[in-house]
Amino acid sequence: MIRTQGINHIALVCRDMKETVEFYTGILNMPLFKTVELPGGGQHFFFDCGGGNAVAFFWWKDGPPAAPGVASVRKFPLDAKTAIGSMNHLAFNMEESELEAALDRLEEAGVEHTHAVVNHDDSRAGIAREKHEGVFVRSVYFTDPNGIMLEFAATTKAFGPEDVAHAPASAEAN
């Protein structure tokens, strides 16, 4: 039986390691704790994002260009559809009481972001203007220098069996 203990790290690809280090250490306050020089001229750096979890980046001088709308989310206004096997976005857990301060910090740093906390609920639209009893997560979305969509997410309720209410869709049914 396989039993995982959470995420050790997620490995992403950046266009410029120096710019990425400055963003993740300077703006997001994630300490750089391991660097690796790769054979053939690449790098692999690891950042502590809290809770024993890490975000890592690969960089290659001859890496292919970004492909927004295919391999990553298109920037604002948000177009969340991405290709099969792509990474849509990365969400960092945060206390709800820290979300407004995070918005302020992103604004001060000139980082493109949602400019308001997004209240996710089970309504038809999936979001609400105001926080209410049905809001299950509150989020701030922003992008890093590589165009990677990131999220600060605060879960606002405990989930139960009633929260698994939809049958999984199948490509074969279409």
**Per DSSP, what are the bridge partners of residue 139?**
118, 153
Identify the domain boundary among 23, 40, 62. 62
Q: Is 78 helix (H, G, I), strand (E, B) or coil?
A: coil
Closest CA to 45 of 22, 28, 29, 21: 21
Range of the domain at 12: 1-62
Cβ partners under 8 Å of residue 61, min gap 6: 41, 42
Residue 164, domain member (yes or no)? no
User: Is residue 174 predicted with pLDDT exceeding 60?
Assistant: no
Indicate whether 172 belongs to any domain: no
CATH of the domain at 5: 3.10.180.10
Rounded Cα–Cα distance for residues 174 and 97 (Å): 43
CATH assignment of the domain containing 152: 3.30.720.110
User: pLDDT tens digit string along 125-145?
Assistant: 888 999 999 999 999 999 999
- 137-169: per-residue pLDDT in tens? 999 999 999 989 999 999 999 999 999 988 888
Total number of domains in the chain:
2
Q: Assess whether 17 and 49 both reside in one domain.
A: yes
- Is a pLDDT exceeding 90 seen at residue 77? no
Last residue of a domain, one of 62, 86, 115: 62
pLDDT in tens, 16-66: 999 999 999 999 999 999 999 998 889 999 999 999 999 999 999 888 888
